[in-house]
Chain A
Amino acid sequence: MKWLDRLEEMFITLLIAAATLVIFAAVVHRYVSGLPLGAVQDALLKIHMNWAQELCIILFVWMAKFGAAYGVRQGIHVGVDVLVNRLAPANRRIMTIVALSAGVLFTGIVAVLGARMVWENGLAYAALTGLGMDTGSHYEGPTTPDLEWPTWAVYMAVPLGSSLMCFRFLQVLVNFIRTGDLPHHDHGHVAGLDEPEPFPVVEQKP
């Protein structure tokens, strides 16, 4: 499963980088095309970047769905642990299993709901047309306003991401039952604190 882990990591890394660059480019474009630069300005004005916001949203929605799955194996999703921490180890184990199963259940339901939604909103039409079959009562489905991409393709993020998340919850659950280990995310991690050079102060004479 190493390949899936790597793929997932690379995918969300690229998505956040791409979204940042898209908005950066759009802002720079808007600013520069307002400058009096003659031919350059004319050329810039011909480029339209009004799709940037929409693309940014789509990139981040995909990042959110797959990043949430990655987060499960990083233990980044926080819960209320006040009560659980006070339980006896045996009961705590049961609670943790219940909590993880709830994760499996919810992400599973969302994956199914999402898949049905996507299927009915254009995937069915696209698939059946692609196979040269009768589309029946299925319709083509809407497109996004600026990029005019089919929404079912954009919304595929929900069933795909949620299925992966469901799988990750199952992995964590199985691992917990076997070894009793849970992934734990350190919210206070800061890089570059291990240098030996201390902060210089004037020491007080005793």
Chain B
Amino acid sequence: MSALIIFTLLLLLMLTGMPISIALGLTVLTFLFTMTSVPIEAVALKLFTGIEKFEIMAIPFFILAGNFLTHGGVAKRMIHFASSMVGHWYGGLGLAGVLACALFAAVSGSSPATVVAIGSILLPAMVKAGFPKSFGAGVITTSGGLGILIPPSIVMVMYAVATNSSVGALFMAGVIPGLLLAGFLGFTTWFRARKYDYPRQPKADFTVRLKAFRDSVWGLLLIVVVMGGIYTGIFTPTEAAAMSAVYAFVVAVFVYKDMGLKDVPKVLLNSASMSAMLLYIITNAVMFSFIMTNEQIPQALAEWMLAQGMGPIVFLLAVNVLLLAAGNFMEPSSITLIFAPILFPMAIKLGIDPIHFGILMVVNMEVGMCHPPVGLNLYVASGITKMGITELTVAVWPWLLTMLVFLALVTYWPAMSLWLPRAMGMM
């Protein structure tokens, strides 16, 4: 009963358009003041201690690192590298778009920024080369989402925080699905390009490739710093994030010289405000999940589910449907923070691996970013292509369908996510 009240209240508050963090907070307060015996002090304490975990602090550091490298110059270098490698195949520039998006998204950590950065440079070039505009828009909008699956990923840190999972293992688990999804999207691009005989670029020779690689490698090394540092045990994930922020600063200011020292305070301020927004959602989501746990809601749901005789297969299907539906209203970090604590106990009861479940959630978020009504990627893509949302939705569908096929694969083939972290002894 209380579960119903809590969720109805949360939904009503959210629909007014108030920030999700405020909606979560007000739900908790209303519930506390009116119908529970939990002392208000216990919850007030959560306001202070909710984000006092060192693991959470990886989020501001990763955002900072990403913001230093979220720059047109970095995007251009990655596009050059990508197109020198795959530009001569069918759908050359489109394939280059998938690869450049995957690289840039992993480094910058922001899907919408990836769509804008890669899209603004590559889309005009694709149109000039003779591709239809919708083809390029479809490729960039969907590939831009790869960043939350390829580590370092902020959404994964959030999942780890919400469920007490290992950040390192999640990052490692994201590698193979990330590469595979990039491959899937690339295949769809190649297939359609071949079918409609879209133009190809001349094959780049070795020296061009080497130069393009040398230019872009500084940005890509960020991934190596993070993954290598965590895997070898030199850093904890949070330390790796801090080191990657310092590394990104050095690369942006002294190696690439895309920005001067005078631009640094601006980057710091933007990163601080973005991080503060996410940390604010986390604080309130922690209070929310505290109330939920206190009312035994996840446990009750888990028992209800077992009583219905729901097995892992049906459960995972239901989770996918639920998360895809939620993806229609909210952005990835809020969905993860609200749903992970509720769904996690059920998943554990059914013997689903926590890391596999995390990857599944992340892939769901990715699909959600690319379809209407709230897909953020779709909106920013609409901004740079001057195409309407409806028109873009049509443009996106081949790749969206590919992502859904991939989602089914991730859901029912745990080994894809779990093989690498297991082989590396991280779980």
B269 touches A (CB below 8 Å): yes
Closest to A157 in B: B48
Which of A15, A20, A66, A194 has the most CB atoms of chain B within a 10 A radius of its CB?
Answer: A20
Q: Among A79, A82, A113, which residue has its beta carbon within 8 angstroms of that of B19? A: A79
A106 to B32 Cα, complex, angstroms:
13
**Is B113 a contact of A189 with CB atoms below 8 Å?**
yes
Nearest neighbor of B274 in chain A, beta-carbon distance: A76
Contact between B47 and A113 (Cβ–Cβ < 8 Å)? Answer: yes
Q: Is the CB of B259 within 8 A of A191?
A: yes
- Which one of B199, B201, B245, B265 contacts A20 once the chains associate, using CB atoms below 8 Å? B245
Shortest Cβ distance from B121 into chain A, in angstroms? 5
Interface positions, chain A 96-144, Cβ under 8 Å from B, are 96, 98-100, 102-103, 105-107, 109-110, 113-114, 116-117
8 contacts between A and B (CB under 8 A): A16-B275, A27-B235, A67-B275, A68-B277, A82-B329, A106-B25, A193-B121, A201-B201
Q: Report A-chain residues with C-beta under 8 Å of the C-beta of B36.
A: none
Say how far A34's CB is from chain B's closest CB, in angstroms.
10
Q: Mark B52-83, 1 if CB is under 8 A from A, else 0.
A: 11100100110010000011110110011000
Query: Which residues from A are CB-within-8-Å of B20?
Result: 77-80
> Number of contacting residues on A, CB 8 A?
70
B-binding residues in A (CB < 8 A): 9, 12-13, 15-17, 19-20, 23-24, 26-27, 31, 53, 56-57, 60-61, 63-68, 70-71, 74, 76-84, 95-96, 98-100, 102-103, 105-107, 109-110, 113-114, 116-117, 155, 158, 187-195, 198-204
The interface stretch among B1-9, B124-132, B352-360 is B124-132
Indicate if the CB atoms of A84 and B239 lie closer than 8 Å. Answer: no
B393 at the interface (CB under 8 A from A): no
Whether the Cβ atoms of A204 and B120 lie closer than 8 Å is no
How distant is A8 from chain B, measured CB to nearest CB, in Å? 10
Q: Which residues of B contact A (CB under 8 A)?
A: 13-23, 25-26, 29, 40-41, 44-45, 47-48, 51-54, 57, 60-61, 64, 70-73, 75-76, 79-80, 93, 110, 112-113, 115-117, 120-122, 124-126, 128-130, 199, 201-202, 234-235, 238-239, 242-243, 245-246, 258-259, 263, 265, 268-269, 271-277, 279-280, 283, 328-331, 334, 373-374, 376, 380, 383
Which B residues are in CB contact (< 8 Å) with A100? 18
Chain B residues within 8 Å of A26, by CB: 239
Q: Chain B's nearest CB lies how many Å from the CB of A97?
A: 10
